Amino acid sequence: MNPLADALVAPLELRRDPVLLRPDGSEMSGDALHRLSGRIANVLTEAGARPGDRVAVQTEKSAEALALYLACLRTGALFLPLNTAYTTTELDYFLGDAEPCVAVCAPAAEAALRPLAEVKGITLLTLDGSASGTLAAHADEAPEAFVTVTRGPDDLAAILYTSGTTGRSKGAMLSHGNLLSNADALVETWRFTADDILLHALPIFHAHGLFVATNVLLRAGGKMVFLPKFDVDTVLAQLPRATAMMGVPTFYTRLLGDARFTREATGHMRLFVSGSAPLLAETHRAFEARTGHRILERYGMSETTMSTSNPYDGERRAGTVGLPLPGVELRIVDADLGVEVPQGEIGILEVRGPNVFKGYWRMPEKTEGEFREDGFFVTGDMARIDSDGYITIVGRAKDLVISGGYNVYPKEVEGEIDGLDGVTESAVIGAPHPDFGEGVVAIVVREPGGGIEAEDILSALQDRLAKFKQPKAIFFMGELPRNTMGKVQKNALRERYGDVFAKPCDA
């Protein structure tokens, strides 16, 4: 028994039909993907990976990268996907915290990561988007046969590093049961079948592209048009092959900006799903006016995978994230008292169900603090539920910024800015952005007589922070607004700069 491998990988062995459709016209059949996962599983085992060990992966999207995920499921190793935008400085933390036995990176990053890997005793392999690298070379020589190891529903399958407003990233531990229950709930809710072909333009280092899109289609027995990244021209060219698409709001705003994206171009489609960042109600309405389709918005987080969804049949309400998924319980509570608030009032959203993670990697105290005694997980998101049960997320209790579907915690960005010569202090907030959901905004206090400018700050952050964490706008103030306790009043900053991306500005 191995819940995820049995559900997602084993069925591929008997599939002679294509599972992955590439934009160049080439295909990969299910049995070919199964054989590739077996070869990579043998490579991982030869490298020392055992059940419970971590395999860290920072590489471009490809069929081989997907097979690497499936191979981890078969070996019992924990898959640890890392954003391809992370710098070497950031990777040093993840590799030190997770202590993987194997790390896979792009060949171009090998020279920078080799010293880290040697110090930490990590076997370093390489793989790029064209299936080149030492992992691919070893896989070519490895046997296809591999006996999938036994795992149980509560055994861990993956660790996803997630951000908060303080401290370093936390590793959310997801079990086989967490991921499989969520895939089953989404297949049911979104009506996926073996006849579906998903236009897959999401990255697979992120929960949306891997644990939602990929797991759902493999579970349903469908196919994927597997694009290396989102590109408007490529998406429009491949759209006729698909029945469904999953994306972040940025995808849909960029498609709406192209005159070729019409009602006729989408007439054959069954479903468009949006998530990972708030979808503006204006985008929802514009999409329907242009195509006749109402985007289905849902809500989730690294710790819970998906928790809610607008209905497949029935009203998809703009500005809401819909209703709880099958098997998921939700409630809205008073942040201070921990008791449910009256219907329609705003409080903290809490979640309980088979989708909820097992805790934070090596952070037992943090884990305990995020769960109620009755098993509900405190999401930290502020929300309300209307009389029909639809949930609206109104903000975050902790000042997390979600830009382009990726979590950005202000404390890390502030720390980098505050360390620059010429800066006294800074505050980082998120502001509504028509393309990214939210954009990172930095408000900086210069040292007396200092002449540091926005360009200087952005240049300094270039090699210190991933692109999605870097501010999209920088402003300067004489001092930051504070309350009587000396805490920076970020609400006041959001009021002042909240519409910065809605009008031209001087950054």
Mean pLDDT of 390-404: 82
The token duo for 55 is: 């395999």
Quote the percentage of the chain above a pLDDT of 70: 96
Check residue 447 and report its DSSP letter.
P
Q: Model-level pTM? A: 0.85
pLDDT for the residue 166: 46
Phi, psi angles (nearest 5°) of residue 396 = -125, 135
d(CA 407, CA 497): 20
d(CA 402, CA 126): 30
d(CA 501, CA 483): 27
Do β-strands 54-58 and 102-105 pair in parallel, antiparallel, or remain unpaired? parallel
Among 5-14, 97-106, 134-143, 419-428, the least confident range:
419-428
Among 18-22, 110-114, 392-396, 458-462, the least confident range:
392-396
DSSP letter string, 106-174? -GGGHHHHHHHHHHHTPEEEE--TTS-SHHHHHHHHS-S---PPP--TTSEEEEEEE--SSSS-EEEEE
Pick from 233, 234, 304, 242: nearest CA to 272: 242
Q: Would you say 466 and 86 are in contact if contact means Cβ atoms under 8 Å apart?
A: yes
The token duo for 349 is: 């959203």
pLDDT for the residue 423: 93
Read off the pLDDT band of 505 (50, 70, 90): very low
Mean pLDDT of 12-28: 97
d(CA 249, CA 286): 12
pLDDT for the residue 163: 60
Q: Would you say 8 and 70 are in contact if contact means Cβ atoms under 8 Å apart?
A: yes
Among 144-153, 259-268, 279-288, 342-351, the least confident range:
279-288
Taken in order 334, 338, 342, 344, the sign of the CA dihedral is positive
Reply yes or no on whether the pLDDT at 212 is more than 90.
yes
Pick from 108, 214, 201: nearest CA to 158: 214
Using the structure block, give the residue that is written with the tokens 């939602």: 212
pLDDT for the residue 39: 98
Phi, psi angles (nearest 5°) of residue 429 = -135, 170
d(CA 315, CA 164): 33
User: Vertex 139, ends 138 and 144: CA angle to 5°?
Assistant: 140
Reply yes or no on whether the pLDDT at 68 is more than 90.
yes
Which residues, 6+ apart, have CB-to-CB distance to 265 below 8 Å? 236, 239, 240, 291
420-432 pLDDT tens trace: 999 988 999 999 9
Amino acid at 378: V
Reply yes or no on whether the pLDDT at 40 is more than 90.
yes
User: Quick one: three-class SS letters along 318-357?
Assistant: CCCCCEECCCCEEEEECCCCCCECCCCCCEEEEEECCCCC
Instruction: Report helix, strand or coil for 382.
Output: strand
Read off the pLDDT band of 399 (50, 70, 90): confident
283-309 pLDDT tens trace: 899 999 999 999 999 999 999 999 999
261-271 pLDDT tens trace: 999 999 999 99
Pick from 158, 105, 159: nearest CA to 136: 105
The token duo for 195 is: 């006849």
Read off the pLDDT band of 164 (50, 70, 90): very low
Pick left, alpha or beta for residue 132 (phi over 0 → left; psi -120 to 50 → alpha; otherwise beta): beta
The token duo for 473 is: 């706008």
Partners of 468 in beta bridges: none
Q: Would you say 219 and 7 are in contact if contact means Cβ atoms under 8 Å apart?
A: yes
The CA-based dihedral angle spanning residues 106, 108, 110, 113, taken in that order and rounded to the nearest 10 degrees: -90
In terms of Cβ atoms closer than 10 Å to its own Cβ (0-12, 13-18, 19+), residue 410 is buried
Mean pLDDT of 466-485: 87
Angle, nearest 10°, between helix axes 134-141 and 30-46?
A: 100
d(CA 71, CA 485): 52
pLDDT for the residue 485: 43
Read off the pLDDT band of 167 (50, 70, 90): low
Tell me what the pLDDT averaged over the chain comes to: 93
